[in-house]
Structure formats: structure tokens, C-alpha cells
Chains A and B, each alone.
Chain A
């Protein structure tokens, strides 16, 4: 196979080269996905967030255990069973935005500013930061934010469409949650609020409020999705068959 000695040498050299190349590649991959290569600052932030999540999950477990206990004790006493069901219903109603809610929180007001233009993506970012700061419910210009809410630029790009409805200035974003934690959470350096305020000089105002009220959203009406467990018997009659 190897007619000359140098062919063998070259083959071995290239093999080694390939090996090194793959090693190099692996090192890069590891850097991307390994916690060990993150800065202390990043690790501290990750850990802090996980801690918050941990306590929220503990609370959820606690809630669910209480609910289960009520169920177990209810036997034939429908009152306790009813209480367990109502409790769950209230929580899900808030989660899906189907009931109006009130509570303390934060109000962010963005007045019209002729020099600076606020894009629809800025609103998406602010709402996203508020969820991260543990907001429990949010509205933008009096419209409740739900799992179906979207923000898009209008045709002329000068205004923002929320769920297809045009928003007009001032943009008022309200969030219910612990007011000072909400404010701290969204005011992080290089966060969207910091950038809008200090880099783009958008004159936005943030005020903490003891009580704000948010309206409910209309109920979604899924046509294409159905629960996996119940797909055999509970598939909704789709009003229009999707064309694939």
C-alpha cells in the first residue's frame, strides 16, 4: 500500500493532525456547555435564579400537598372537595388571565419622545424582564398579557401592535408582584430598562404602587392542539382542517 517511506510518514502525521483538530474542537464545545468555564459573576447569577425557582417549587409542592390532603379527607364531604377544586380553579384563572387581578406592583410609563423611537421588541424585552423579576400578572396599555400575547410593528413601523391592536402613547406597563423586587429585577445593569434609559435616553418613569388592577383577557379557543392523554376521545372538532 505504501510504496514509498514518506507516504507512511505523511499518513501518520496527518492522522495526528486530525486527532489534534478534533481535540481542539472538543475543547471549544466544552467551553460552550460547561459550567466550569463561566465567570464567577455568571455562576452567582445562575445560582441566585435557581434559588428563587427552588423556593417557588417548594411552595407549589406545599400547595399541591394541601390540595391532596383536602381531597383525601373529603371522603363523602363534598364541601372539602369543593374547596380543593375552587382553590385550583382560582390559581389557573390567574395563570391564564381569565380573571381580573389586583395587588401591589410596578408601573412603567413610557411617554412619547420625538427624538427616540421605542420598538416593539423593547416591549417584548420589558415584559420578559418583568416575568424574570417574578411578576405574577402583567398588562400593557390596559390589555392583559397572556400566553398568546404578541407584539408586532405596525405597517409604518412607527407604532406597535399588541395582539393586532394598535398601542398609543404613553405606553403603560403594569405588573403585579413585590414592588421593590420587581424594580430591582428590571433595573439590572445592561438590562433593557438600563439601556433604554441611559443609552437611548428614553424618559421612562418607574413607580411602585400599593394596589394596581389588571383586567382579564378573553379565553383562548384552541383549535389545533389537544391533550395527549385524552386524544382518543377528546379531540376537539376542528372548525377548519389544517392544510399541510
Chain B
């Protein structure tokens, strides 16, 4: 039999085809039993997600109501200065959406993460600590408000991971990670470039940093609960 050029091409394509097919099949066979085992827990989490979203919506609506009430009731009374102070405190505590100049940072996993061996995937993905340290650098650069994927970072916020998920205020984020900050854009950029961001850049992560005239940061949707901490009783 005479070997023609296209014979070789077809052979190569078929081989690739087979390899991909089996690896696909393998991935499915590998995961399905696990998925079944976890089904109950996954359902529990989905219910929790839903209930939390409902509570956050309720909190938002009551906060708005209280705001309207208070503003109306204190207007032109001796309580007006106290209400004005409260408005400012809410602003400082991250309970108000804010806008201003700043920076927008985007962090993505490396393409290699999709093909790397399981033992090496860690080198190619963004970790929660990357975000935690960049948030720290932004604060060092004088950031006045910060959010990650729309989740406001406040004083008591935690940035962690659970499995492959990065969480902020315990809300699971999906990549790419977009960190927004309001402050002096030059100072923010300098502070961020002096730290973790540059390490990621040097390690060939597809990261971007852009200065912007106007960055919008949503309000904190969660709770402040103080059951143990209280101001000292006598004198301040």
C-alpha cells in the first residue's frame, strides 16, 4: 500500500481524537461518584446561599427605610446634627456606595492551570493570599474604599479560600477577580506595584492594573455584630 500524505494527517488527527475522548471520559467517570456523594451537602449550601441572599436583601431594604425615616424625622430638630453624624459614620463604615478616582485590578489564573498536572496547578492559579496582600497594599496606598468582585471589603472582612473558591465576607467569588479601590490613583498604583501584584506579573499571571477617573464601590451588604465588644462603661 502506498502511503500518501493525507494518510499521515488522518492518523495524527485520529490519535489526538482518541486521546482527548478518553481523557474526557475519564474526567467524567472520575467525578460522577463524588458528585453523587456530595449532593446533599451541595443542596444544603445552595439553600444557605439563597437564604443569605434573602436576608441581605431584607437588610438592604430595612436600612433604606430607616434612613428615610430618620432623615425625615430629624429634619429641622435638635437631632439633625446627630443624624448628619450618623450619615457620615455609615459612609466611613462602608454602608454607603461610594464613587471616586482610583484603580481597577484584574487577576486571572494562568492558561497553564487548565493543562497542568494536579500537583502543579497551585503554581498557576490565583490564591486568596494574593488578593489579601493586594488589599493590604491598597490600604497602604491610602485606599478609602475597596471591593473584590463587587463585594465590599470592610474593617472586619475576611478573605479566605474553601477548596478552589476564594471567599470575601464568606461569599464565593468566581474568577477573574476584579479588585476596585478609590483613592489617589498614583499612590494606589505605586503601593500595589511595590508588592504582591508585581510578583504575580513576574510569574506571568495575566494581571492588569488601570487607573480610572471614576470607580464605583458598592455598599457592604453584610452585618456588623458586636456581642462581646462594647465601649468601656465609665468615662471614655
Contact = CB atoms under 8 A, between A and B. Distances in A.
Interface of A: 6, 9-10, 13-14, 16-17, 20-21, 23-25, 27-28, 31-33, 35-40, 42-47, 49-54, 56-61, 64-65, 67-68, 71-72, 74, 78, 81-82, 84-86, 88-105, 121, 124-125, 128-129, 131-132, 135-137, 145-152, 176-178, 213-214, 219-220, 222-229, 231, 242-244
Interface of B: 4, 6, 9-10, 13-14, 16-17, 20-21, 23-24, 27-28, 31, 34-35, 37-39, 41-42, 44-46, 48-49, 51-52, 55-56, 58-59, 62-63, 65-66, 69-70, 73-74, 77-79, 82-83, 85-86, 89-102, 114, 129, 132-133, 136-137, 139-140, 142-145, 153-160, 162-165, 167, 169-170, 172, 174-175, 182-186, 195, 211, 213, 216-217, 222-232, 236
A225 B182 contact: yes
Nearest to A60: B223
B44 A91 contact: no
Given A85-B79, A89-B89, A38 B24 contact: no
B48 A54 contact: yes
Contacts of A39: 34, 38, 163
A102 B230 CA distance: 6
A228 B217 CA distance: 9
A78 B77 contact: yes
A20 B20 contact: yes
- Name the residue in B9, B42, B164, B229 with the highest tally of chain A Cβ atoms < 10 Å from its Cβ: B229
Contacts of A222: 91-92, 144-145
Nearest to B51: A54
B89 A96 contact: yes
A50 B195 CA distance: 31
Nearest to A104: B228
A63 to B, nearest CB: 8
A86 B74 CA distance: 13
A147 B94 contact: yes
Contacts of A56: 222-223, 225
Contacts of A92: 86, 89-90, 92-93, 95, 224
A120 B28 CA distance: 43
Contacts, number: 315
Contacts of A85: 70, 74, 79, 82-83, 86
Contact of B132 (A17, A89, A128, A226): A128
A125 to B, nearest CB: 7
A192 to B, nearest CB: 10
Nearest to B49: A50
B162 A46 contact: yes
Contacts of B157: 131
A99 B157 CA distance: 19
A24 B24 contact: yes
B31 A96 contact: no
Given A37-B34, A99-B236, A124-B133, A81 B154 contact: no
Nearest to B215: A225
Contact of A36 (B16, B38, B99, B162): B38
Contacts of B52: 50, 53-54, 57
A177 B6 contact: no
B24 A23 contact: yes
In the complex, the 10 A-B pairs of residues with the closest C-beta atoms, listed nearest first: A60-B223, A42-B163, A150-B140, A147-B155, A132-B158, A92-B89, A57-B55, A6-B6, A43-B41, A136-B229
B86 A136 contact: no
